[in-house]
Amino acid sequence: MSELLSFKEMCTRFEVTPRTLRYYEYIELLAPQKQGRARFYGPREVARMTLILRGRRFGFSLEELRQWLEIYDKRGTEEQYRVWVELADRQLVTLQKQQDELATTIADLRQLRDDVARVLQRR
């Protein structure tokens, strides 16, 4: 039998707050086994948490991740992969735009900083 993680162990393993973990359960991203008030997380929940945190790092919303994870349960791996490619393509466009905007902002700030530094050097 696979090892189960307690609520506290799950928080520690993924470096999330108890509030975050409870919220993920509330919005049905995770469904731990319950024994009384205690919660236990098996391999499925550990894998889902890994995917959730990775998806958040990539900029996906929790609702997008919830729907994407649900596809596996309803339609299987192949359909989940197809949807993932579509989501990833869309997110890559968004991230590239953000990167371009950030590069412009950095260049503008650098130019302004250099202009002000030159003014100070003349004084």
The 10s digit of each residue's pLDDT in 35-87 is 999 999 999 999 999 999 999 999 999 999 999 999 988 888 899 999 999 99
- pLDDT above 70 as % of the chain: 98
Comparing C-alpha atoms, which of 28, 84, 26, 32 is closest to residue 54? 84
**1 confidence band (pLDDT: 50, 70, 90):** very low
40 in helix, strand or coil? Answer: strand
Find out whether 41 and 32 touch, Cβ atoms under 8 Å.
Answer: yes
Residue 1: C-alpha distances to residues 30, 42, 43, 58, 74 (Å): 20, 10, 10, 33, 25
Task: Write out the E strands in the chain.
Answer: 5-6, 33-35, 38-41
Fold of 5-92: Multidrug-efflux Transporter Regulator; Chain: A; Domain 2 (1.10.1660)
Domain boundaries, the chain: 5-92
Q: How many whole angstroms separate alpha carbon 72 and alpha carbon 74?
A: 6
Question: What's the pTM value of the predicted model, to 2 decimals?
Answer: 0.81
Tokens coding 11: 């928080």
